[in-house]
Structure 1
């Protein structure tokens, strides 16, 4: 089964190119109308008096290469199918379309197909009278003894340096020389915990990497890595990559470091990786960060690469120059992460313990009832939720029970008592339940402090809980039992009347076919039919216990 959003596999690259052009923030891209099988994106309004820069290769490495077309970078990008080099004709047409007397430099990643097709196109263009030269990017250091190192994410750095030189009006020879200087100064190493999935294919090969491990040195077309690391720890992986980079670049040089997302790594993880880089052994030499971002990706590969380029004054100036293309990321000075001092805000409730035997007994009854109900409520919740309602209520009840037993509650001051209960429940009860009950008691305490009676204060607390929680009576929650009980008290009823109202409210939830809050909201009516809401049952049993006390 394909893991791609697409319409027609045959038109995937064409459609993607159109999407990139439509979304171009600088509105400076156009597709050459040459042949439907030839995919060339060019910079609009190009001045042929300057050296043209043409790059490209297989698609699937977005934003490379179309994302680097624009002022200060590429003049044209030639796009092959996914992971397939563009044809000789496609490259030749790109050269002819953008090249004037100043000439054209081809920037090619060191893969056989690209070398051959771009190389032959260059020779044919020369035979037509065009001045064309070529540089080959081979920044991959995963195989140090390889005579033909692959061109990977460092290619974007070469695009940037050469683009600056061309924009300055330098000659073809000068642009090529500076591009080659950038190539010689650049090293890249990548790692992934999963390969990439090809459009329209099952992608079993992408899942070959064993759980808990990563492969070092995967190619950007999904080629297997050169070794396996028995870890997925970000700090350990970055340390391994950094060690290899330090052995490949000038140990005395100032560096710019590109943190490149290979396609399938989340922004959260990329931020973590960037933090690890900033604390790694190479950090003292790093003057600038580029990214974290997608620059040269490998479809949805779950991995990243690090590219280091040794800076001199010219390369630094070239990399820092502004461009008009969507794919490039500006350099950021690597500095210690700033922090700003601030005083911690705390609203811990300070109260004076006091005694009131009647209130103490009510607290004991409520809390002991909820503690005793833990297993029963968990079993009930396991049918309609995640099975933890009993434990959640019991944890809060146990904390208040202990304070009551230790004589630490302001039993004779209901405003303070409710404020303290609200404060503790927000700390000891898990999930949203703790926050909701905290809101309930805190708001009720405030109402009592302002002179309200107990029943109206509890209803005010309920109203605030409904306001912030979003649930209401009829939504199959504890409110279906709590609201009728509190309304019975407000209307002058005793605890027996409140208990009866809570019981009827809880029983009503068993007939409700749809929950509109909590985990039960994701269940079908068949899963809920005939089962009381656990929160409503908790309220029912508490009022029953109070009425019988």
Structure 2
């Protein structure tokens, strides 16, 4: 598996050194033997709040060290609890007379190592309390519930109360209330993969898992892979079953478990907003990575029941940038301005022009898949779709166009492409036709007007002849047109320009400037190829 790492056995150390570039935190000087991240501004004059566990869950927990949240985070190896000595080092480094609170996720290793370190610290005369978080509702109440992303709600409330100078007893009491009223459920399309792991995923392409932990262990249930709305609805159904039947208000945490893209995370929050439970949610944390599982393609939902204190402390600003909370609302809308008509001119008839546009439009539509495949080799794979969409749109408005007025027709096509055609190609062609339409009354002939449009397109687009773009076919064709050459000669000029792009492997502008010679050699530019195909079709 490819990953942005150096050595697999140095992943955690390298990651924490990256975290420590934040001026608000620092490492103990026993690093890397002891991996503890602490607040740089800590004075030991308030209750310290410490948490931690295995690494691989970033930004938890080191990413939440800072004012208003954790005083220190103790980091173990990937998915492995930190040692007793590491936890004790954290306690000793940040605990003063006010004492400290250890927030522990409910896993055996964490309970044992944090618990023993707490006992050793007490033996040294320090006041230490512990809170164990088990917010996972996947396996019911009869089992030891695992600690999931809801743990961060506890860290936020405890951290804020500590920042305000509250006593250890008060912080423990409030933190326990958060624990008692927090529930979480996870759902994933893949398992997590260690950086040195080559084993295939246990899930088939048509499967997903619900009720999983954060260490790559199997979920409580394998379910069918479905649309986002249906998967979120299943997760919400599990959560609802564990909530009191009252119409209480909650804060929601939508956690990215590693490799879900930002656009997918927004789709997930939209899917949640469609559920009945959304009406009871007042605030949203995320959507963002909060407690990940390395690179798992999954998410978890966590809810905490709000009371006045929990709501107030969750909303207080904090130092760590990994924490973000906002009010959860329905999408807002404002009145959109009325845009000018796409075709502001009166329609007119010209049988020859109509046949010409019909032929060009039909060709663009027929070339969609072929040109997408070509564009996929040297671009983003959508050139065929962009031109086909333009073709469909022109075809749909043929009877509304001023076909018998060249200037107004060019301007109308320019407006149509600006409004309806996607991608940079659509905008560039819109510039060309708009400038050509403006120039036609003075030029009086199509070739000269199109050359004016081409120059404006080159000026605004930045590319020129030889940069492996549609210009390499357009310019020789328009020059031939301006010289009053035959349609056959115009088509031949465009074809030669398109063929020449196969030899161009180094450019200073256009998208080809981003690609290597290996990617470009012997492949024509899709835009130039489409221009050549159009003129060859008209020649027939």
TM range (shorter): 0.7 to 0.9
Cα deviation, 1:476-533, whole Å, max 9, x if unaligned, reads 555445433433454xx4343x74365245335435512666799787565349x996
The structural deviation recorded for 1:347 is 3.2
Q: How many residues align?
A: 529
The structural deviation recorded for 1:423 is 4.6
Aligned counterpart in structure 1 of residue 496 of structure 2, from 507, 511, 521: 507
Cα deviation, 1:264-323, whole Å, max 9, x if unaligned, reads 111111111112222311122212211112211111111111111111122222222222
Describe the SS at the equivalent of 1:189: strand
Instruction: In structure 1, list runs of 5 or more residues that go unmatched.
Output: none
Instruction: In structure 2, list runs of 5 or more residues that go unmatched.
Output: none
Distance 1:414 1:202, change over 3 A: same
The structural deviation recorded for 1:403 is 7.5
Supply the distance in 2 between the matched residues of 1:410 and 1:448 (Cα, whole angstroms).
Answer: 14
- TM-score norm. by structure 1 comes to 0.85
Describe the SS at the equivalent of 2:54: strand
**Residues 189 and 241 in structure 1, CA contact (< 8 A), matched pair in contact too:** yes
Supply the distance in 2 between the matched residues of 1:463 and 1:298 (Cα, whole angstroms).
Answer: 53
Supply the distance in 2 between the matched residues of 1:378 and 1:428 (Cα, whole angstroms).
Answer: 16
The structural deviation recorded for 1:371 is 5.5
User: What is aligned with 1:29?
Assistant: 25
The structural deviation recorded for 1:200 is 2.0
The structural deviation recorded for 1:538 is 3.3
Supply the distance in 2 between the matched residues of 1:391 and 1:160 (Cα, whole angstroms).
Answer: 48
Cα deviation, 1:372-404, whole Å, max 9, x if unaligned, reads 8987x7899699556998998788678878987
User: What is aligned with 1:441?
Assistant: 433
Supply the distance in 1 between the matched residues of 2:126 and 2:497 (Cα, whole angstroms).
Answer: 85
The structural deviation recorded for 1:128 is 1.7
Supply the distance in 2 between the matched residues of 1:398 and 1:28 (Cα, whole angstroms).
Answer: 57
Supply the distance in 2 between the matched residues of 1:335 and 1:93 (Cα, whole angstroms).
Answer: 43
Distance 1:343 1:12, change over 3 A: same
**Residues 4 and 200 in structure 1, CA contact (< 8 A), matched pair in contact too:** no
The structural deviation recorded for 1:243 is 2.2
Describe the SS at the equivalent of 1:58: strand
Supply the distance in 1 between the matched residues of 2:421 and 2:45 (Cα, whole angstroms).
Answer: 71
Distance 1:297 1:80, change over 3 A: same
User: What is aligned with 1:301?
Assistant: 296
Distance 1:344 1:365, change over 3 A: closer
User: What is aligned with 2:343?
Assistant: 349
Matched, 1:413 2:405: yes
Aligned counterpart in structure 2 of residue 124 of structure 1, from 120, 124, 127: 120
Mean Cα deviation higher: 131-140 or 238-247: 238-247
User: What is aligned with 1:462?
Assistant: 454
Aligned counterpart in structure 2 of residue 340 of structure 1, from 331, 334, 337: 334
**Residues 184 and 300 in structure 2, CA contact (< 8 A), matched pair in contact too:** yes
Aligned counterpart in structure 1 of residue 484 of structure 2, from 479, 482, 494: 494
The structural deviation recorded for 1:436 is 4.4
Supply the distance in 2 between the matched residues of 1:345 and 1:131 (Cα, whole angstroms).
Answer: 68
**Residues 384 and 519 in structure 1, CA contact (< 8 A), matched pair in contact too:** no
Structure 1 vs Structure 2 CA RMSD: 3.6
Distance 1:475 1:535, change over 3 A: farther
Matched, 1:72 2:62: no
